[in-house]
Amino acid sequence: MELYAIITGDIVDSRSKDIREWLPQLEMALGDCSDKYDVFRGDSFQLMVSLEKSIEALFYLKSRIRAMGDLEVRMGLGIGKIDYMDTHIKNSFGDAFVRSGEAFESLHKDLLAVRSPWEDWDELSNIMLNLCVEIANRWTVNMAETVAESLRYPDVNQQELAKKLQRKHQSQVSTELTKAGWSKLNKAIVYCTEQLMKRC
């Protein structure tokens, strides 16, 4: 049984911000994660990502939105089968889409939820990943930018990251990642991903 990962999300309080400032950045971030995505109703989006990159994609999108300043994003991740794939992902159907929608609709004050065929994985991941979100909610623009670039270029060293980020010193990158709690967050992302892949 082939399983897929679908992320459904929206920008929080998007109407209070100029759409021309954040929409191109959102579309660029979605394009970095997948070539199968849709933006609809102005501030809502849906994308299909690979299972092994699904949790990472949540935090990549989070970091890109946080890097724009005082913007926030809510997301639901669903894992499951796809029965019908349309050229527009928002018109596709299957368990993955249903679970993604359910995860998204379950959000109240939380900003992130996951739903899969495995309740034990859901429970563990929702606890761990929401703790990670609490840490990510404290990122400054610089921290978010650095985390985003670290995720986008995982094989690049900090010297090269500093160049991409136009930071004068490599130590700035190191300091920003430390303050962002990135090594601990990344361990949680890797752990949840490993536990997911064991079940697939």
Helices (H), 34-157: 54-66, 95-105, 119-136, 141-152
Question: Where do the DSSP E strands lie in the chain?
Answer: 4-12, 37-40, 44-49, 72-80, 112-115
Q: Residue 17's pLDDT is what?
A: 80
Residues whose CB falls within 8 Å of the CB of residue 101, separated by 6 or more in sequence, listed in order: 8, 76, 78
pLDDT tens for each residue of 57-85: 999 999 999 999 888 999 999 999 999 99
Where is pLDDT greater, at 69 or 26? 26
End-to-end Cα separation, the chain, in angstroms: 8
Question: Whole-number mean pLDDT of the chain?
Answer: 94
Residues in the chain: 200
pTM for this entry: 0.95
What's the average model confidence in pLDDT over 155-172? 92
Judged against a pLDDT cut of 90, whether residue 129 lies above it is answered with yes
Confidence of residue 122 (pLDDT cuts 50, 70, 90): very high
CATH 3.30.1300.10 describes domain 4-199: no
The pLDDT assigned to 21 comes to 84
| pLDDT confidence tier of residue 90, bands split at 50, 70 and 90 | confident
pLDDT in tens, 27-45: 999 999 999 999 998 789 9
Count Cβ atoms below 10 Å from residue 133 Cβ, excluding itself. 17
